[in-house]
């Protein structure tokens, strides 16, 4: 089977010139790349040397006529979700490799930022790539699979943010992900957004941007 070729909206570094970091947004179920690319404009002052890209998921969404999906969520069973993540992973892996090569960057200069279903993809792919990204930020998502988790010394920096009023993916999913990753020896920062449903508030946005800035500044990125 041919691996789908992903594409989506992009933002060049605010500072101009060649990027020193690459931030890839992974949208949620029923959305598309335009849904998250605006976060790049919000974070540009913190990450002036970063390029941003937000690929459209490979499949049309069965529940939203104009949206996209990384995999079918209509059945809900976590074993099916894990299989869906695994099926979608090669297309995302290929996209990340191509984008890094296009910019002349290595995985140490890469960060993945997911929302909802995109967080499932960010964790699954970011934790299992041969060359791990510098950071993963996951909003309103879940850990779909615990296969092939990296040793603690090789894991990306991880931040999970979730609203305590989330009616789509309960905050318990974030707590479970934090505990499972912690039991595997991986360090996870986390934040519960009080009074927030299935979305990102200003504080969550601020925390994500500063987390990425600090992760890149720790020496895993050239800029």
Tens-of-pLDDT digits for all 223 residues of the chain? 578 899 999 999 999 999 999 999 999 999 999 999 999 999 999 999 999 999 999 999 977 778 999 998 765 677 788 889 999 999 999 999 999 999 999 999 999 999 999 999 999 999 999 999 999 999 999 999 888 899 888 899 999 999 999 999 999 999 999 999 999 999 999 999 999 999 999 999 999 999 999 999 985 433 3
User: Would 123 be classed as within a structural domain?
Assistant: yes
User: Would 4 be classed as within a structural domain?
Assistant: no
The CATH number that applies at residue 55 is 3.40.50.1820
> What pTM, to 2 d.p., does this model score?
0.95
User: Would 90 be classed as within a structural domain?
Assistant: yes
Burial of 175 (0-12, 13-18, 19+ CB in 10 A): middle
User: Would 139 be classed as within a structural domain?
Assistant: yes
Total number of domains constituting the chain: 1
User: Would 155 be classed as within a structural domain?
Assistant: yes
**Nearest-angstrom CA–CA distance, 193 and 117:** 18
Give exposure, 49-63, as e/b (b: 16+ Cβ within 10 Å). bbbbbbbbbbbebee
User: Would 31 be classed as within a structural domain?
Assistant: yes
Please answer whether residues 26 and 114 qualify as being in contact, where contact means their C-beta atoms are separated by less than 8 angstroms: yes
User: Would 1 be classed as within a structural domain?
Assistant: no
Q: Residue 211 is part of which domain span?
A: 10-220
């Amino acid at each position: 089977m041919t691996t789908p070729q992903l594409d989506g909206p992009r933002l060049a570094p605010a500072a101009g010139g060649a990027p020193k970091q690459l931030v890839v947004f992974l949208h949620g179920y029923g959305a598309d790349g335009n849904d998250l690319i605006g976060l790049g404009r919000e974070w540009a002052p913190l990450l002036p040397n970063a390029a941003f890209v937000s690929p459209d998921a490979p499949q049309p969404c069965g529940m939203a006529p104009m949206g996209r999906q990384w995999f079918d969520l209509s059945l809900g069973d976590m074993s099916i979700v894990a299989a869906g993540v695994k099926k979608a992973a090669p297309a995302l892996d290929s996209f990340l490799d191509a984008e890094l090569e296009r910019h002349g960057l290595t995985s140490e200069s890469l960060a993945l930022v997911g929302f909802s279903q995109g967080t499932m993809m960010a964790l699954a792919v970011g934790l299992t790539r041969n060359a791990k990204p510098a950071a993963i930020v996951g909003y309103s998502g879940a850990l779909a699979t615990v296969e092939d988790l990296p040793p603690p010394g090789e894991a990306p920096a991880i931040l999970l943010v979730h609203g305590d009023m989330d009616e789509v993916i309960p905050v318990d999913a974030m707590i479970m992900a934090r505990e499972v990753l912690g039991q595997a020896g991986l360090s996870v920062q986390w934040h519960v957004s009080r009074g927030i449903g299935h979305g990102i508030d200003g504080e969550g946005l601020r925390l994500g941007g500063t987390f990425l800035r600090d992760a890149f500044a720790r020496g895993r990125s050239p800029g």
